[in-house]
Amino acid sequence: ENLRPLTGEPVRLDVPSLVDRMVRARRGGYCYEQNLLLAAVLDRLGFAVTGLAARVLSGRPGRPRPSTHCLLRVDLEGRPWLVDVGFGGGGPLEPLPLADGHQEVQGGWGLRLDRVSELGGDEWLLRSFDGRAWRPLYVLTTAAMAPQDYEIFSHHLSSHPRSPFLTRLTVQRIGPGVQHVLTDTTLTTLAPDGTREEQRVPVREVGRVLHEVFGIDLRAREREAVEARVEQFAGM
């Protein structure tokens, strides 16, 4: 969810701030927040964790986008795994072996990982099955990223006027057999077989949907700020 940048609050990536936000306040976040908190947990448990970056492909075709998605590589007993809990477009529910041609089903959702060379170097394409065809999600590289890289990327996405996180409300939650997506006042429910159902949500009901569907509880002031922004988008 992008509620914090949408209402002008700073997005802090230090571990205490991430714990306060996602553990104590039971809120979501975007990839930098979710995957960096998971990376901190895995590191403290003794796992070998490397931060990676990926170019998102879903949504709009065209020339390559910048590598602004954060995800993780975890090495276990000499085997590399792709770990990503922060992709809102239908990413993995569980760790995925970083192996060429690997394909599996997680909670009813089909995923496939292939080695590619779109821009050169060590690149991997992650795709999901939408019930009819394989849909590209993102291309990742195995080059390690530093925390300061993520700070720059996150600042851009949370402050640039054309960032998708500032031009619409987006909240997504995926689990076994179902994915819910709220985009401004449209609530979409998707299934692994490709079926989808759309429902219009009145602006003043957005806070209720955030609570009932996504488990997000907002304070009265936060709810008013979010609904005011959604109302602004609806009037554009």
**Closest by Cα among 136, 141, 110, 157 to 58:** 136
Q: Decide if 54 contacts 67 (C-beta within 8 A).
A: yes
Integer Cα distance of 68 and 31 in angstroms = 9
Query: Is 114 noted as a catalytic residue in this protein?
Result: no
Residue carrying structure tokens 């104590």: 24
Q: Which of 20, 69, 70, 130 is catalytic?
A: 69
Catalytic pick from 20, 31, 100, 102?
A: 31
- CA 149 – CA 157 distance, rounded (Å): 13
Q: Is 84 a catalytic residue?
A: yes
Give dist(CA 131, CA 209) in Å, integer.
27
Selecting among 20, 70, 84, 156, the annotated active-site residue is 84
Distances from the Cα of 28 to the Cαs of 24, 33, 34, 114, 143, in angstroms?
A: 11, 8, 7, 29, 27
**C-alpha closest to that of 225 among 79, 9, 13, 20:** 9
Residue 43 known to be catalytic: no
Catalytic residues: 31, 69, 84
